[in-house]
Amino acid sequence: MKVGIGFDVHQFAENRKLIMGGVEIAYESGLLGHSDADVLVHAIMDAILGALGKGDIGKHFPDTDEKYRGISSILLLEHVWQLVKDEGYTMGNLDCIIIAQKPKMSPHIESMREMLAKSCGCAVQQINVKATTTEQLGFTGREEGIAAQAIVLLQKA
């Protein structure tokens, strides 16, 4: 078995789509990034790469490379998941948390789980997505951005 953790933060920006766990959420602003800035998927990829001992997303997908501009992070996750398969591992379970004052994530959680399970070739039941506010405290509480954390357990296939 291999375990890994991931964490990421992106700031809010106007005229950007809000993509979370591969799901587009209708909201007044989105997140800024070189990619689609899907902060949840970024934390998940870092957790997976950590479990594999293969660095982080900045190493695999540098933000200086134009080919990643505006790219769907779900596509990047599918690439990372191929590395898992190449190493002979499969999903044990993935747990993650979105730290956001707004918007409300709960209506979108099931769609996110389905997207993530599809990308990682596993059952929805192996993926858990949670959300919390920080009770108006800190940068997330001031609605300056969104953070996400993830932990993954990989098992030998």
Ligand X SMILES: C[C@@]1(CO)OP(=O)(O)OP(=O)(O)OC[C@H]1O
Ligand Y SMILES: Nc1ccn([C@@H]2O[C@H](COP(=O)(O)O)[C@@H](O)[C@H]2O)c(=O)n1
Residues binding ligand X (CB under 6 A): 8, 33-35, 37, 42, 57-58, 61-63, 68, 71
Phi, psi of 152 (to 5 degrees): -130, 145
Cα–Cα distance between 77 and 22 in angstroms, integer?
Answer: 10
SS3 42: helix
Instruction: Determine, following the binding rule CB under 6 A, whether residue 106 of this chain makes contact with ligand Y.
Output: yes
The residue from 85, 104, 142, 156 that contacts ligand Y (CB under 6 A) is 104
Residue 57, marked binder: yes
Distance of CA 122 to the CA centre of its chain: 16
Q: Measured from the CB atom, is 91 or 147 closer to ligand Y?
A: 147
Residue 69, marked binder: no
Instruction: Determine, following the binding rule CB under 6 A, whether residue 105 of this chain makes contact with ligand Y.
Output: yes
The residue from 133, 139, 143, 153 that contacts ligand Y (CB under 6 A) is 133
SS3 93: strand
Please report how close the Cβ of residue 56 comes to ligand Y at its closest, in angstroms: 25
Q: Measured from the CB atom, is 48 or 131 closer to ligand Y?
A: 131
Dihedral, CA atoms, 85, 91, 96, 102, nearest 10 degrees?
Answer: 70
Residue 7, marked binder: no
Specify the pairing of strand 145-156 against strand 30-31.
unpaired
Residues that bind ligand Y (CB under 6 A): 100, 104-106, 131-133
